[in-house]
Amino acid sequence: MCFVHICYEAIRNGLLTPMTKKNIPRPTESELEILQVLWQHGPSTVRLVNDELSKRRDVGYTTTLKLLQLMHEKGIVTRDDSSRTHVYRPALREQETQGQLIDRLLEAAFGGSALKLVQQALGNRRTTREELDQIRDLLDNIDPHATPSATDTPDELA
Amino acid sequence: MCFVHICYEAIRNGLLTPMTKKNIPRPTESELEILQVLWQHGPSTVRLVNDELSKRRDVGYTTTLKLLQLMHEKGIVTRDDSSRTHVYRPALREQETQGQLIDRLLEAAFGGSALKLVQQALGNRRTTREELDQIRDLLDNIDPHATPSATDTPDELA
DNA sequence: CGGTATTAACGAAATATTTCGTAGCAAAAG
DNA sequence: CTTTTGCTACGAAATATTTCGTTAATACCG
């Protein structure tokens, strides 16, 4: 299992590309906080990001700056430094990153079962009827008819 | 440092109890790996946990031991040290911890929208028809709404 | 122009996480 | 009884994350 693990670590740290995916490190919690601001406000200066963060908690300007610089180094954000005040934007779309994070959580805590995750997300939470309806729509859109992956188990009873 | 943030940090670190929740620190990724073993195998010795972890990756015995000791200090696991080889078990049930983690992710990456999370979990993933049906059942249980989407299972609640 | 304000770049401290080596002790084997 | 094995405790290094102070450059204002 050594080699496998080495590869896993390497991929995790962005040294190898799984060929199908881009080489983006997993955002930390602080970095996610910033990404949420960028997703919501679009391309932003350090000042703007910091102002947003400051609404929620106490954080110094240079802290936010440093974080954005690190995120830039890691490739989590891109930046336009043509003018003196740089403008940062997410390297990945919101959905892509969220998908990554769910995959991570799925592996880390749910043994890979998306079903269990969704059950947990919906079960212990008050969800509005409207939201439930939207999820029903989603289920129908996934298409109960054409679902191709439906049968991994070839042992459909004969 | 604003007062709100101090409180936030304190709660996050388990110094204050939000009164409604227990005072359990958030498991790290490595700790989750171990929790999964405990959930799956029940109360376990360090040896057993380490053997399980070793199936997936290369990890030293004392590493696992140390991790379990730290988790014990943090209150993430309890242990029976009446005999020489201690036996560890999770302090919280699988579901409780998973719920916590979802809450965390919800806040950190989905702006609190369970809907978006579920959409993401189901959307970009191959989910079997069987699983989709199970989720439909779950939805119907949460909200005995109209649009009974093929609920043949006459399940009920107390 | 001279002073104030704003910004990026570093360096570094503080903290958290992961990993393992060593030592001491108890149990099992011989 | 002596050796070997297995276990816990402890210390500490290696790494990752978060935070901020200081400095230097640039823009702005009067």
Q: Which residues of B37-53 are buried (b: 16+ CB within 10 A; e: fewer)?
A: bbbeeeebebebbbebb
Distance CA B53, CA B47 (A): 10
- pLDDT, residue A49, reads 98
- Please, which pLDDT band fits residue B144 given cuts at 50, 70 and 90? low
Distance CA A72, CA B39 (A): 39
Quick check: B9 pLDDT over 50?
Answer: no
Give Cβ neighbours of residue B54 (< 8 Å, ≥ 6 apart).
Answer: A1
Q: Which two tokens stand for residue A63?
A: 């802290």
The full set of domains in chain B, from first to last, is: 24-112 (1.10.10.10), 113-152 (no CATH)
- pLDDT, residue B72, reads 97
* pLDDT tens-digit map of A112-136: 888 899 989 988 777 788 888 888 8
- Neighboring chain A residues of B36 at a CB cutoff of 8 Å: 109, 111
- The answer to whether residue B55 neighbours chain A at the CB level (below 8 Å) is yes
Give Cβ neighbours of residue B143 (< 8 Å, ≥ 6 apart).
Answer: A129, A132
- Please, which pLDDT band fits residue B22 given cuts at 50, 70 and 90? low
Distance CA A35, CA A54 (A): 15
Among chain A residues, CA nearest to B126: A149
> Which positions 68-107 of A are in contact with B (Cβ < 8 Å)?
95, 97-99, 101-102, 105-106
- Please, which pLDDT band fits residue B146 given cuts at 50, 70 and 90? low
Share of chain B above pLDDT 90, in %: 54
Identify, with chain letter, the residue nearest to nucleotide C27 (CA–C1'): B84
Mutate to test the interface with B, among A3, A31, A98 (most CBs of B within 10 A): A98
* pLDDT tens-digit map of B47-74: 999 999 999 999 999 999 999 999 999 9
Write out residues in chain A with pLDDT < 50, as ranges: 1-21, 146-158
Name the E strands within B64-118.
77-80, 87-90
Chain A to chain B Cβ contacts (< 8 Å): 156
Q: How far is the CA of A60 from the C1' of D30 (A)?
A: 30
Higher pLDDT, residue B18 or B50: B50
- The answer to whether residue B125 neighbours chain A at the CB level (below 8 Å) is yes
